[in-house]
Structure 1
């Protein structure tokens, strides 16, 4: 699986991942937008209507943190879902058909570069879980711990200043 990249644009930072998936757009769209699909890979439940401009509530499934509010910046069925929450931070998911499958692009924009390696490892683990769920197999354990050192090395110490230690 290809690693994500860290970019700087207009004074903000951006993590970008592209994942080719052997599933059609409609199947992947359900997995990235519907509660039952999100439960397999996304770190929180998203409460609220799936429409541009809608208020949203993000709730951790296992009580890891307090719920927080955000909004749906863009929702174009079968194509784009962009979420925003405090920070400000945005997460944009784009789907493009590619033969019998599709390509998913995940773009996470934020202000504090210190969390880039931590969050890149997190999104990498999430996308691994998404792929496994779509393929009907178990997601491997320990993905975050396995990939975090690569992101620390690739992005450097400034991009690794914030974050918990790898899980035991």
Structure 2
């Protein structure tokens, strides 16, 4: 449906996704900023101190070690940004007609992670779509989630920067 695009974000490489939802801003905000909502679609379990400068903790991702980041922006119910590993994640929820629009921008620490991360967010956002539609969403690492590799292959074939290590994959496949 809505695919990610490779963009320049203030002079840094990034992948960006936009989704429109027939839901109020507050419902989508809860899904993208509260641990209970994030549990349905985000690749890690999240604990967040909901204020600028707060700590955000990521755990239980089968492909990555537990880590912490910093909340860069916390402006409910519209903007949340935080660091994650060397990347930044920016989430923006804006009113749009009778619903709202979500923009997710992943500012990349390394250009060659674009296709890998875009594929991951494609899977995650499909889970968010399911959750917001009221369907069962078991998360991006579940058996019911869409497979990651077809997204990755499509982004690579479109020329999105690639070549970064794929967590959880044998090194010869990266």
- Given the two structures, how large is their TM-score scaled by the length of structure 1? 0.87
1:116-155 equivalences under 5 Å are: 116-138=114-136, 141-155=145-159
Q: Which runs of 4+ in 1 moved over 6 A?
A: none
1:16-27 equivalences under 5 Å are: 16-27=16-27
The alignment covers a number of residue pairs equal to: 162
- The corresponding residue for 1:57 is 57
Distance 1:31 1:125 in 2: 16
Distance 1:143 1:26 in 2: 30
Q: Does the CA contact (< 8 Å) of 1:6 and 1:155 recur in 2?
A: no
CA deviations 1:87-138 (Å, max 9, x no partner) are 2x10000001112210000011013111110100101111110010010124
Structure 1 unaligned blocks of 5 or more: none
1:27-42 equivalences under 5 Å are: 27-42=27-42
Distance 1:111 1:121 in 2: 16
Q: Does the CA contact (< 8 Å) of 2:112 and 2:162 recur in 1?
A: yes
Distance 1:22 1:147 in 2: 25
1:1-168 equivalences under 5 Å are: 1-61=1-61, 63-87=62-86, 89-138=87-136, 141-156=145-160, 159-164=161-166
Cα deviation, residue 45, structure 1: 1.9
- Given the two structures, how large is their TM-score scaled by the length of structure 2? 0.85
Q: Does the CA contact (< 8 Å) of 2:115 and 2:162 recur in 1?
A: yes
Cα deviation, residue 9, structure 1: 4.3
Distance 2:66 2:21 in 1: 31
Structure 2 unaligned blocks of 5 or more: 138-143, 170-174
Aligned alpha-carbon RMSD (Å)? 1.9
